[in-house]
Structure 1
Amino acid sequence: MQNTAQEIELKFQIPAESRPLLTEALHDTVHTTTRLRARYFDTDDRLLARSAFALRLRQEGEGWVQTLKGRGDGLMVRLEHNAPLGADTGDEAPALSLERHAGTPAGVALIALLARAGRTSADLALQFSTDIARTHAEVQAEGAVVELALDVGQIQGGGQTLPVWEIEFELVRGAPAGLLSLAYLWTEAFGLWLDVRSKAERGDRLARGVTQGEVPAVRPVDPAQPWPQRVTVALSPVLALAGDVAEDLASPAQRVALAQALGVLAETLRADPHAGGAADTVAALAGLVFDAAIWRRAETQALWFNLLEWSLPDAR
């Protein structure tokens, strides 16, 4: 279990027809399967969820781990801190304590958020839970070590259940380019499609009885920023909306916001002579926000990989 300030990962949904072959491919590696039962906490008015935080207690095999995740760059990087809590105590979860994250970037950010809202840890309550079988393996790719984690199970909240079939690629060590390379190979082989919606976000929706996410702000891009930062700012709202569109869950407001975000992204890309072709592809997608299948296609996933590569700090 890493105890890191940031995690670098990508998550993908797995089409039903690809699940047996993907599972077989992962089982051909040196792998481990662990049952993960988690409980997620928030205030009654969803302060954490609205601010892109997730706070959970999770039983992982023989013990419990308290994890806090916070907003990163919205693409591949998120703040994260894990606090292992020792031996297994059965099905009864340990008490929640924010002191376990004291002094970490994620912990400092959460305490500041609660303080601004006039809330304390006493306002945090169980909102939803997950029960996941995780099959994970470490794979080398272009000098990097990447953990593959196949998650199969369910999210429970608000008296409802949502099935989970997804795979994550998390950078253990090395350059992010190695993660992108490996994830692209698996995407091509099994028809995966990128989904930045976290289990916490989907669980929060389930608990509230809604299927659609929030409409993110579409911000103009500062041309004075470095190229990777410009791509990150422009791409973030696009990916935040693409998951709901790919599942044909998006509201009209989300689809309008996606078309606007694609326009900003295309304009951003046109400012760089190397990105002209990608800019045209992005602009064309703005007219296809009602076609769910387009957002799951291999060509669209290839576009995301190109843009994610350009968002890396050493790009250009």
Structure 2
Amino acid sequence: MGMEREIKLTLPPDQVEAATQWFGARAGTPGRAIELKNIYFDTPQLALAHSKSALRLRHAPEGWLQTYKTVGDAKDGLHSRHEWEMPVAGEELEIDALLNACDEASAADAVRQAAPELIELFRTNFTRTLWNVNVDGSTIEAAIDRGDVVADVDGEKRRAPILEIELELKSGDEAALHTLAAELGNAIRGLAPDNVSKAQRGYQLRKG
């Protein structure tokens, strides 16, 4: 089990270019853009959402991954949550492998009970531009995400935009996240802490 720690910030549309240039200068390298397509699963009764967890398949440049996260805590844009991620053969969940890896009893029970009824609920499709930034000896993966949440509800296709910055601690001290976020906030106007995950946005979209 890993503990994911990241700061999420909403990014005003008119500040995308400024943020892109700022990260390039701070990291000393152009950003690397990748396409990410994600499928989120739950039961029709939203059992995983009620257990405060989320399950997805992601198609990334390296192939398919399945990821299971707890909601965890989110305050002032800082998200701390348990995460289990592993490669899978294709566009299909591998529940047995996930259960073998999941070492949090309540989280494993939630997946086990939901597994027979899991269905696709919504998708998130976005371009992620990535930089690795060093801050006081810590490594942070900085990303600008641009795309959409998409859900089919009773034959109606619903969409909501994604435009955000994620600063994820890869190694070192959590204080480095706050240092980098403060630097960024001083350079880019209009940023705001975002306590809502992409999965939560998908559930909100389905509710209308």
1:258 aligns with none
* 1:5–1:106 Cα contact (<8 Å) kept: no
Q: How big is the shift at 1:35?
A: 0.3
Q: How big is the shift at 1:107?
A: 6.0
2:168 aligns with 170
1:130 aligns with 124
* 1:37–1:132 Cα contact (<8 Å) kept: yes
In structure 2, relative to structure 1, the CA distance for the partners of 1:106 and 1:15 (3 Å cut) is: farther
2:140 aligns with 146
For CA contacts below 8 A with separation 6 or more, give which structure has more relative contact order.
2
| Structure 2 runs not aligned, ≥5 long | none
Structure 1 counterpart SS, 2:73: coil
AA matched with 2:164: E
In structure 2, relative to structure 1, the CA distance for the partners of 1:200 and 1:182 (3 Å cut) is: same
Q: How big is the shift at 1:16?
A: 2.3
Query: After the TM superposition, which residues 1-316 of structure 1 pair with which residues of structure 2 at under 5 Å, given as runs?
Result: 4-28=1-25, 29=27, 30=29, 31-75=31-75, 76-85=79-88, 94-105=91-102, 108-113=105-110, 119-157=113-151, 158=153, 159-190=157-188, 191-209=190-208
* Structure richer in helix, relative to its length: 1
TM-score (norm 2): 0.87
* 2:48–2:114 Cα contact (<8 Å) kept: no
| Structure 1 runs not aligned, ≥5 long | 87-92, 210-316
* 2:34–2:127 Cα contact (<8 Å) kept: yes
2: CA distance, partners of 1:128 / 1:107: 26
1: CA distance, partners of 2:195 / 2:168: 13
Structure 1 counterpart SS, 2:18: helix
TM-score (norm 1): 0.58
Q: Give the length in aligned residue pairs.
A: 197
* Structure richer in strand, relative to its length: 2
Task: Name which of structure 1's ranges 31-40 and 105-114 shifts more when overlaid on structure 2.
Answer: 105-114
AA matched with 2:7: L
In structure 2, relative to structure 1, the CA distance for the partners of 1:155 and 1:174 (3 Å cut) is: same
Q: Over aligned residues, Cα RMSD in angstroms?
A: 1.9
Structure 2 counterpart SS, 1:38: strand
Structure 2 counterpart SS, 1:197: coil
Structure 2 counterpart SS, 1:102: helix
Deviations 1:254-274 (A, max 9, x none): xxxxxxxxxxxxxxxxxxxxx
1: CA distance, partners of 2:18 / 2:74: 30
In structure 2, relative to structure 1, the CA distance for the partners of 1:94 and 1:106 (3 Å cut) is: farther
